[in-house]
Structure 1
Amino acid sequence: MGPLVSLLLLLLTPAAVPGHGQVHVQSSRGDTGLVPALRLRTEQADNAAQYAGYQVLRVNVDSNGTLDLLRTYEDRPGVDFWTPISPLVPTVDVMVSPDVRSELTRRLKDSGGSYGVNIGNVQDAIVRQNPIPSPFYLELLEGRQGYQLTWKAYHRLAVHHQYMDYVEHEYRGLCSTFSIGISTEGRNVKGIRCGLGEREIWIDGGIHAREWISPAVVSYLVKDFSATSYKEQDILKAFTIYMIPVLNPDGYEYTHTGRRMWRKTRSRTPGSSCVGADPNRNFGYHWGEAGTSTNPCSDVYPGSRPFSEPETRGVRDFLLQHKNKMEMYISFHSYSQMLFVPYGHGTERPSDYDELLRVAQKGAAALQAAGGPAFRVGQASRLLYAASGGSDDWAKAKANIKYSFTFELRDKGFNGFLLPSSLIEQSGRETAAAVKAMIRAIL
C-alpha cells in the first residue's frame, strides 16, 4: 500500500577499556555522508584489532568477597564492566584485556570465586556482529531510490538521517523531521515526528554509544509508524510520536571509527585529558548520586554539572517546551531484557507506580506474544542497581511526563553489546509490539 493511500486511510477511517585516559580525539569529519564500502571494511578491521585477545567473562558473585574483589578493578585500564557490580544480580559481565584476564582469573581462583567465558574473542565478535555486505549488494543499496537503511545490518549516522529524510518526503502530512540541537562535534541531533494527534509521545535511542541495537530498533519503530501507518490509525490519530534514533551522535560515530566499546559523549572534560560524560547520568534529577563516579575517565562520569552536554540540554529544552502535551517517554538501551519504571536513583516509588507497572506489563506481555523473550519489569534500583541522573527519572519528576520507561533490549549477555545484526529484525518486531501495546493501554 502506497504512502498516499496510507495517509488517506488514516485521515478518513474512524477512530576502562581502550580509551581510558585518552586525550580528546575528534571523530572523523568524513562521516557526514554515506561511507564507501572500502572505508567501512578498513574502519571495522582497525576498530576490531584494538580488542585482540580481549574476552568477556561472566563472574559469579555469590559472595561479598567476590564483589569486593571486582570493585578493585573499577576504572582500571583494560577493564570494562558490561553489567554493574551489584548485590542484586547473581553474575557480573566484564570485558578484560589479556594481561588483566590472567591476573583476575588467578585471583578469583585463589579466593574460591568462579567464572565462565561469554565471549572468547572480542575482536572476532566485533567483525561477526555486523558483516560488511558484498560490493554487489552495496551497489544495489546505493542504487535504491531514497535510502540505504535496512534492518539486516547496523548503519552509520548518515544512513539513519537519510532514512528519516526519505520518510519525511514519502509520508508528507504524516511525518516530518526535527532537530533538538547540535552535538559537541557539530552533528545534528535529528529526529522524526509521525502522527496527527495533539497528545505526544517521546522515544529515543542511542544515548549510550555502544548499544547499537537501540538505534536500529528505534528506526524500526519509525518504519512502523510511517510505512505501515494504516495499521496504527488509532495511535496516530490520537498521538504525535517524536523519535530520535541516535541521541548521542558523536559517541555513536566514534564506536564505528575509533573505539567500538565507547559509551559516553565526546565532549571535553574541564581539567582532564579524559573525554566525555555518561549522558544517562547527566540529567538534573538526583545528579551525581548513586551509580556515578567523580573520575572523568569513568564510563559513569556524570559530567561536570547537570546538563553539561548539548545532547541532554536538547532533550531537556524540548520536553519542557512540550510538557503540557507529552504523555509518555520511552528510552531504549541494551542489554539485559528488562523494562524499567521510575525511579532508578533509589527505591522510592512514584505515587502512580501501580499504573506505570500496569502499562509496562502490557508491553512485556505483548513483546513475548510477538515471539520475544520474557522481560523483567520493575525499578532498576530493585532489579539491577541504583543509578542517578537518568533521563527516565528526570522525565517523570521534572518534565511531569506521567508514563516514563526504559527498555534494556536483547540479550542477557551471550552477545551483550555485540548482538548480531541478524537479530535486528526480530528485536524490532517484538519491541514494536510492546511499544504499541503500551500506547494503546493509555488511549
Structure 2
Amino acid sequence: MAFLVRERDGSYGYGEMLKDMNRLQERYPFIQVDSIGRSVMGRPIPALRIGMGRKEIHCNGAFHANEWITTMLLMQFAEEYATACSRQAALGSFPAEELFGQTSLWLVPMVNPDGVELVHRGAAPEHPYYRQLLAWNGGSEDFSGWKANIRGVDLNDQFPAHWEAERERRAVAGPGPRDYGGVRPLSEPEAAAMAEFTRRHRFELVLAFHTQGKEIYWNYRNLEPRASEAIALRLERSSGYKAVKLGDSDAGYKDWFIQQFGRPGFTIEAGIGVNPLPLDQFRDMYEATAQVMTEALACLAEPQWEQDRDRE
C-alpha cells in the first residue's frame, strides 16, 4: 500500500494534516475540503468530503489530544478511498464508485488541534495559556498525556447528553489534562462546532475514533435504534474489534448523537496500550479501522438500509 500519510519517527500534528489535505485535494479534485469552525486559539477545524450520495456518514478523530494517531487513520482512509474511486477499483470488497455515488463521507480528522499541538510541542513561555497550562498540568512541562483542549476541558465530556451525570461521575472540579467537562455543555468552540456541523447535516451514522482498547461502543441508555447492535456486530466481524454494550458513560459525542437524532452512533477504540499509542501500531490499527469505515459505508449503500431505517 502506498501511504500519503507516512509512518513517521516523530509526530503527526495540525501542520502535517493540512499539508496532506492539500496534497489529497490536488491529486483528487473531487475531494471537498471545508471548515466546521475554529478552535480556542483560532485554528480552523477542517472537514473533508468524499462522495456525492444523499446518504451521509461522518467520522471524526482526535477529540482527545493524545489520541492524535486517529487523525492519521482517517487521513490514510481518505487517500485509500479516493485512490480507489479514481482507479474505478474496489474499496475492500466493495466497488468504490458505487459507494461514492450512493454515500457522502464527511471526515473531521482533528477535532482538537490546539490540544494536539500542545501534546507535540509543549507550551513555551510566550504561549497565551502558559501559566495556566503548567498549573493545570501539575507544574510539569511534559504534556504527552494531555487529552483536553487548550483550556483544560475534555471535549468528549462536553455534549448535552446527561452532562450533569457525567460531571458528577468524573468529580473533576476544574481544568486539567483530562476528564473536566467544562462549566456547561458545549462551552468550548470545538465541541460547539461539532454539534452545529452535525445539526447541519443528516448523518445516517457516525463513527467517533478514539484509542485504545480494540472495542466498538454502540449503545446509549437504550436510546439507540434497533439496527445499532446488528451494525456493531458487522463491524466486529470485519475488524476483529469487540462490540461492547457500554454503561455508566455520558456526555460524549456518540451519546449525544444517539440521544438527539435516534440514529446509529459508534465509538471506535482503536489499538491497544497506553496513550499516546506508538506509531509502530499504525499499520495494524489502520487495517482494522479501514475495515470499520468500509463496512459502515457499505451498510449505507445497501437498499435494505432505508427499509430498516423507515421501520424504526
Q: Note the 1:278-293 alignment, pairs <5 A.
A: 278-290=154-166, 291-293=169-171
Count of aligned residue pairs for this structure pair: 267
Q: How far apart, CA to CA, are the structure 1 residues paired with 2:266 and 2:24?
A: 26
Q: Is the 8 A contact 1:224 1:432 kept in 2?
A: no
Task: Give 1:333's aligned residue.
Answer: 210
Task: Give 1:198's aligned residue.
Answer: 54
Q: How far apart, CA to CA, are the structure 1 residues paired with 2:112 and 2:271?
A: 20
Deviation digits for residues 7-35 of structure 1 (CA, Å, limit 9, x no counterpart): xxxxxxxxxxxxxxxxxxxxxxxxxxxxx
Counterpart residue identity of residue 233, structure 1: E
User: For residues 401 and 166 of structure 1, do their structure 2 counterparts lie closer, same or farther at Cα, with a shift above 3 Å needed?
Assistant: farther
Q: How far apart, CA to CA, are the structure 2 residues paired with 1:393 and 1:418?
A: 24
Counterpart residue identity of residue 188, structure 2: E
Q: Note the 1:294-305 alignment, pairs <5 A.
A: 294-298=172-176, 299-305=178-184
Q: Is the 8 A contact 2:213 2:269 kept in 1?
A: yes
Asked whether 1:159 is paired with 2:20, we answer no
Q: Is the 8 A contact 2:223 2:262 kept in 1?
A: no
Residue aligned with 1:441, SS? helix
Q: How far apart, CA to CA, are the structure 2 residues paired with 1:209 and 1:148?
A: 22
Residue aligned with 2:233, SS? helix
User: For residues 261 and 294 of structure 1, do their structure 2 counterparts lie closer, same or farther at Cα, with a shift above 3 Å needed?
Assistant: closer
Asked whether 1:419 is paired with 2:280, we answer no
Counterpart residue identity of residue 162, structure 1: K
RCO greater where, 1 or 2, for CA within 8 Å and sep 6 or more? 2
Q: How far apart, CA to CA, are the structure 2 residues paired with 1:262 and 1:420?
A: 15
Q: How far apart, CA to CA, are the structure 2 residues paired with 1:351 and 1:301?
A: 26
Q: Which has the larger radius of gyration?
A: 1
- 1:401 Cα deviation after fit: 5.5
Counterpart of 1:430 (choices 288, 294, 301) is 288
**Structure 2 segments unaligned to the other structure (5+ residues):** 91-95, 123-142, 303-312
Deviation digits for residues 296-349 of structure 1 (CA, Å, limit 9, x no counterpart): 145211111110010111111111111xx3101110001111100121xxxx31
User: For residues 340 and 279 of structure 1, do their structure 2 counterparts lie closer, same or farther at Cα, with a shift above 3 Å needed?
Assistant: same
User: For residues 311 and 401 of structure 1, do their structure 2 counterparts lie closer, same or farther at Cα, with a shift above 3 Å needed?
Assistant: farther
Q: Is the 8 A contact 2:224 2:264 kept in 1?
A: no
Structural RMSD (CA): 1.8
Deviation digits for residues 166-221 of structure 1 (CA, Å, limit 9, x no counterpart): 2122211x211111111001111112111111111110000000113211211122
User: For residues 418 and 282 of structure 1, do their structure 2 counterparts lie closer, same or farther at Cα, with a shift above 3 Å needed?
Assistant: closer
Superposition TM-score, scaled by structure 1 size = 0.58
Task: Give 2:185's aligned residue.
Answer: 306
Task: Give 1:218's aligned residue.
Answer: 74
Counterpart residue identity of residue 144, structure 2: R
Task: Give 1:70's aligned residue.
Answer: none
Task: Give 2:41's aligned residue.
Answer: 185
Q: Note the 1:22-421 alignment, pairs <5 A.
A: 149-152=5-8, 154-172=11-29, 174-229=30-85, 230=88, 231=90, 232-258=96-122, 259-267=143-151, 276-290=152-166, 291-298=169-176, 299-322=178-201, 325-343=202-220, 348-350=221-223, 352-353=225-226, 355-368=227-240, 375-381=241-247, 386-398=248-260, 400=261, 402-411=263-272, 413=273, 416-421=274-279
User: For residues 163 and 307 of structure 1, do their structure 2 counterparts lie closer, same or farther at Cα, with a shift above 3 Å needed?
Assistant: same
Deviation digits for residues 346-391 of structure 1 (CA, Å, limit 9, x no counterpart): xx312624x10111111111113xxxxxx2212221xxxx221110
- 1:294 Cα deviation after fit: 4.3
Q: How far apart, CA to CA, are the structure 1 residues paired with 2:102 and 2:41?
A: 37
Could you tell me the percent identity over the aligned residues?
22
Q: Is the 8 A contact 2:225 2:262 kept in 1?
A: no
Runs ≥4 residues deviating over 6 A: none
Deviation digits for residues 395-423 of structure 1 (CA, Å, limit 9, x no counterpart): 1111x161210001111x3xx21422122
User: For residues 151 and 360 of structure 1, do their structure 2 counterparts lie closer, same or farther at Cα, with a shift above 3 Å needed?
Assistant: farther
Counterpart residue identity of residue 159, structure 2: F
**Structure 1 segments unaligned to the other structure (5+ residues):** 1-146, 268-275, 369-374
Q: Is the 8 A contact 1:183 1:311 kept in 2?
A: yes
Superposition TM-score, scaled by structure 2 size = 0.81
Counterpart residue identity of residue 34, structure 2: F
Q: Is the 8 A contact 1:292 1:388 kept in 2?
A: no
